[in-house]
Chain A
Amino acid sequence: MLQFSLWKRALVILICLAAVVFSAPNLFYDRVERHNDAVAQIAAGNDTPELQAERALWPDWLPSDTINLGLDLRGGAHLLVEVRVSDVYADRIDALWPEVRDLLRTERATVGGVRRMPSDDPGVLRVAIGNAEGMQRALEVVRTLSQPMQTLTGIGQQDLDIHEDNGQIIVTLSEAERLATDDRTMRQSLEIIRRRVDEAGTREPTILRQGADRVLIQVPGVGSADEILDLIGRTARLTFHPVVRTTSNGNEAPGPRQVVYPAMNEQGVYYVLEQTAVVSGEQLTDAQPTFDQNGRPAVSFRFNPAGARAFGLYTAENIGNPFAIVLDNEVISAPVIQSAIPGGSGIITGRFTIEESTQLAILLRAGALPASIQVLEQRTIGPELGQDSVDAGKVAAVVAMAAVLLYMGLSYGFYGWIANVALMMNVAMIFAILSLIGGTLTLPGIAGIVLTIGMAVDANVLIFERIREELRTARGPARAIELGYERAMSAILDANITTFMTAAILYALGSGPVRGFAITLGLGIVTSVFSAIFVTRLIIVWWFERRRPKTLNL
């Protein structure tokens, strides 16, 4: 009777011990947090006696994962912004026009005069040609601009859709290219936003892509969402400057309207540049990782019409001179102009690895936000309100726990206290798992834990009531306990599986704080079933084996 194999017992005990050990850091939240901060600082190379002292607040060999507090508990800013991805289509199309024009001009004999026609949709380029018979040739020529797609999803497709409509050439981005562009736009926006938020040096910002065209930004400890908004709405600083000379002295006094910028990847190299930029990052519409003619990783870029014109003029007049590509006041590279670049597109070579060229392409695009953003949701929670909520939640949880423990003890006596041990294990397990998976505790999440404290005893109540019933009919206490567990099981499983399903749905469809609630509720269900079935059972079996009681006073 009451089979409980040794390895199962060992496992249950091990899990309980682990729960206690891994939930413990949360009891010393402040200390552990300071310890973790200090460890991170020291790892980053700032080693001071103060940091070592902070680090010593919590022993290194103990687990130091704690639950993340959600914004509603810690205070901070929450922003949901939408990136207007379609802005990019228009920029891309505008940037294509000079290329289309130049190409068609070379075919002037067959095509005739070329004119850009107005278009209702800024993402569509309409070109009229003077000689209708030349349309086939014109389409042929323009189609050479279309490139096969390089992305995984777009293999075998072209990036441009070029056809004739009413005697005009229509150039649009193909559907596949639009999707790819949207995706790129989102990745760029995330990258820009991340870079900018990181730059502010805030603690643990969360920057997540949400759905097709949204970015969620959560920054704990910021006084107001406006601060973040100022940051991510700021103009980017990517500029192209004429180079006056290079120098190794960073403090060298530059001439009038000149500046000294360091090289990005070379220590001790500085460039003296004309302060007035030839073109700036806002005029860059695209940058892609590519390879130069020697097969080395490089980055191709393309300007919008205004940028292209300025760039073309400048390069034509300055062949043989270097110009600097400057990002955030650092010179990425300063190539020598080999020839005039009239189409507004070019290539940056350097000593890149493929990763670096990919990253540089992202950075180049990140120079300006690729599309405008719109704020959909903005929340600021003051740290005091969060702290008040944490305090209130703590008190409520402790009182709830004490009341439930007392009530169970009064109702079931000794057995009630066994269930209470399981309940405490249950809470420890919830905290341990939340800490280990880096879960976020929100205000509704605290409610979820308190609710779990109330509901967790349900499985034990079911079992105890069943044992009581079985005691009246069954042969002896051992049999009654066994039957009690066995027969209560179907109710326990059905009841908890159905509740778990609602928690799962809440998690899948909810967001933010609601999701936090779903996590604690779902975890609470799993741990409460485990603690009711295994932990109480282990204790009862143990006790039973030692005492061998003839009757149960349940």
Chain B
Amino acid sequence: MYRLKIVPDDTDINFMGPWKYTFGLSMVLIAASIAVFFAIGLNFGIDFRGGTTIRTEATQPVDVGAYREALAPLNLGDIAITEVYDPSFRDDQHVASMRIQAPDDGEAVSPAVLAQVQSALQGVDPSITFASVESVGPKVSGELVQEAILAVLAALGAVLIYIWLRFEWQFALGAVAALVHDLILTIGVFVILQLRFDLAIIAALLTIVGYSLNDTVVVFDRMRENLIKYKQRPVLDVMNLSLNETLTRTLMTSFTTLIALIALFVLGGDVLRGFVFAMIWGIFVGTWSSIYVAAVIVKLLGVKRDWGKGGDKAGTQFATSSSK
């Protein structure tokens, strides 16, 4: 029977050899992401900065200039209008998305204003329908920012504690450093591409955390096992061995997940696209960071070599049983 094999059975790739360069690259990318975050800033959606987004659909082609002109007399402040395109649209389906600033009084945009906007747009093109109209007041958006930050911090904290309990503190720090790396790089990409950053992207970020962690934990699990099995071998060797042993699994899982995500990216419609993009990006950085951030940090922090000698029973029960 034909078998697809992406990785030969016995690989011996020196993953950790160039660790200084790869770790350096990660650090540079983190610094660059932070720099662009402060220099350019994220393109926040209404979830986080308040305002209104309106998605229009028309049978006539979108004329951004005419839309803008029609809305100008309403004095709504900064209005961003973009045409949306997706291969799944019908020939006579022309979609535009516009964003209106939030008023300063804490309320969402008033129904009266929305009605004015809608009639102004229908004046331009009577075929316009409003596929979605969403308003978020600044009061709520401020809270959503807080909740989002809280959610990410809580996730990182929970991971730190769990890995610390199940492994060792070096592993916990390594795993969390890898996650922070993934988050910062993802935010960096969103800044550079100016993709809209909204509540769904926070969900994507936490999924990246979950995925990256999944990957890191599998690698760590094998490292722990091998560190016990080969007590005398240098740490870098053991890490390389573990990475080679888990390579097939790493790639298999990355591939299947990528296949699913790419299907969603291409076919899932434009509403989800930013969200799916974040996750696809996360698969790459998550896989990378498991090796070149998490493992390197564990190496840098120094790792315990006398596993299984008393203590830590709870944390190493599976590992000790397989070292028999």
Is the C-beta of B255 less than 8 angstroms from some C-beta in chain A?
Answer: yes
The minimal Cβ–Cβ distance linking B323 to chain A, given in whole angstroms, is: 11
| Residue of B217, B222, B264, B319 with most chain A CB atoms under a 10 A cut-off | B264
- Chain B residues with Cβ below 8 Å from A453 are 260
- Chain B residues with Cβ below 8 Å from A72 are 271
- Rounded to whole angstroms, the CA-CA distance of A455 and B199 in the bound complex is 23
Chain A proximity mask over B286-306: 1 for CB below 8 Å, otherwise 0 = 000000000000000000000
Contact A410 to B206, CB < 8 A, known contacts A385-B55, A501-B158: no
- Rounded to whole angstroms, the CA-CA distance of A379 and B106 in the bound complex is 16
Chain A proximity mask over B138-162: 1 for CB below 8 Å, otherwise 0 = 0110001001001100110011001
Q: Identify which of B12-20, B24-32, B244-252 touches chain A.
A: B244-252
- Rounded to whole angstroms, the CA-CA distance of A512 and B258 in the bound complex is 26
Q: Are B211 and A499 in contact (CB under 8 A)?
A: yes
Q: Are B261 and A225 in contact (CB under 8 A)?
A: no
CB under 8 Å from chain A, chain B span 146-184:
147, 150-151, 154-155, 158-159, 162-163, 166
When the two chains form the complex, which single residue of A226, A400, A458 contacts B114, counting CB atoms closer than 8 Å? A226
Q: Identify which of B72-80, B232-240, B272-280 touches chain A.
A: B272-280
Q: Are B130 and A226 in contact (CB under 8 A)?
A: no
Q: Identify which of A9-17, A236-244, A265-273, A390-398 touches chain B.
A: A390-398
Considering only CB atoms, which chain B residue lies closest to A507 in the complex?
B151
Q: Which applies to chain B's interface (DSSP): helix, strand, loop or mixed?
A: helix
What total of A-B pairs shows CB separation below 8 Å?
258
- Rounded to whole angstroms, the CA-CA distance of A379 and B5 in the bound complex is 49
- Rounded to whole angstroms, the CA-CA distance of A399 and B259 in the bound complex is 9
Q: Identify which of A170-178, A254-262, A341-349, A370-378 touches chain B.
A: A370-378
Q: Are B139 and A450 in contact (CB under 8 A)?
A: no
Q: Are A378 and B108 in contact (CB under 8 A)?
A: yes
The minimal Cβ–Cβ distance linking B230 to chain A, given in whole angstroms, is: 15
Q: Are A497 and B162 in contact (CB under 8 A)?
A: yes
The minimal Cβ–Cβ distance linking A204 to chain B, given in whole angstroms, is: 20
When the two chains form the complex, which single residue of A454, A462, A498 contacts B213, counting CB atoms closer than 8 Å? A498
Q: Are B137 and A377 in contact (CB under 8 A)?
A: yes
- Rounded to whole angstroms, the CA-CA distance of A408 and B6 in the bound complex is 12
- Chain A residues with Cβ below 8 Å from B147 are 509-511
When the two chains form the complex, which single residue of A80, A494, A506, A509 contacts B166, counting CB atoms closer than 8 Å? A494
- Rounded to whole angstroms, the CA-CA distance of A377 and B136 in the bound complex is 4
Q: Are B132 and A379 in contact (CB under 8 A)?
A: yes
Q: Are B200 and A392 in contact (CB under 8 A)?
A: no
Contact A407 to B255, CB < 8 A, known contacts A382-B132, A399-B267, A505-B206: yes
Tally of A interface residues using CB under 8 Å: 80
Is the C-beta of A465 less than 8 angstroms from some C-beta in chain B?
Answer: yes
Is the C-beta of A358 less than 8 angstroms from some C-beta in chain B?
Answer: no
- Chain B residues with Cβ below 8 Å from A80 are 140
Q: Are A454 and B257 in contact (CB under 8 A)?
A: yes
Q: Are A413 and B3 in contact (CB under 8 A)?
A: yes
Considering only CB atoms, which chain A residue lies closest to B208 in the complex?
A502
Q: Are A413 and B133 in contact (CB under 8 A)?
A: no
Q: Are A380 and B130 in contact (CB under 8 A)?
A: yes
The minimal Cβ–Cβ distance linking B311 to chain A, given in whole angstroms, is: 18
- Chain A residues with Cβ below 8 Å from B154 are 505, 508-509
Tally of B interface residues using CB under 8 Å: 86
- Rounded to whole angstroms, the CA-CA distance of A98 and B162 in the bound complex is 63
- Chain B residues with Cβ below 8 Å from A183 are none
When the two chains form the complex, which single residue of A82, A455, A496 contacts B257, counting CB atoms closer than 8 Å? A455
- Chain B residues with Cβ below 8 Å from A376 are 106-108, 136-137, 139-140
The minimal Cβ–Cβ distance linking B220 to chain A, given in whole angstroms, is: 8
| Residue of B115, B217, B321 with most chain A CB atoms under a 10 A cut-off | B217
- Chain A residues with Cβ below 8 Å from B82 are none
Q: Are B151 and A444 in contact (CB under 8 A)?
A: no
Considering only CB atoms, which chain B residue lies closest to A385 in the complex?
B131
Q: Are B210 and A502 in contact (CB under 8 A)?
A: yes
Is the C-beta of B207 less than 8 angstroms from some C-beta in chain A?
Answer: yes
Is the C-beta of B100 less than 8 angstroms from some C-beta in chain A?
Answer: no
- Chain B residues with Cβ below 8 Å from A461 are 248-249, 252-253, 256
CB under 8 Å from chain B, chain A span 487-517:
487, 489-491, 494-499, 501-503, 505-506, 508-514, 517
- Rounded to whole angstroms, the CA-CA distance of A487 and B226 in the bound complex is 13
Report the 10 A-B pairs with minimum CB-CB distance, sorted nearest first: A454-B260, A490-B318, A392-B269, A454-B257, A400-B263, A499-B210, A400-B260, A410-B4, A509-B151, A491-B221
A residues near B (Cβ < 8 Å) are 72, 80, 82, 224-226, 229, 374-382, 384-385, 388-389, 392-393, 395-397, 399-401, 403-404, 407-408, 410-414, 443-444, 446-447, 450-451, 453-455, 457-458, 461-462, 465, 468-469, 486-487, 489-491, 494-499, 501-503, 505-506, 508-514, 517-518, 521, 553
- 11 examples of A-B residue contacts, CB within 8 angstroms: A229-B111, A376-B108, A400-B264, A411-B5, A447-B272, A454-B259, A462-B218, A462-B249, A495-B221, A501-B155, A502-B206
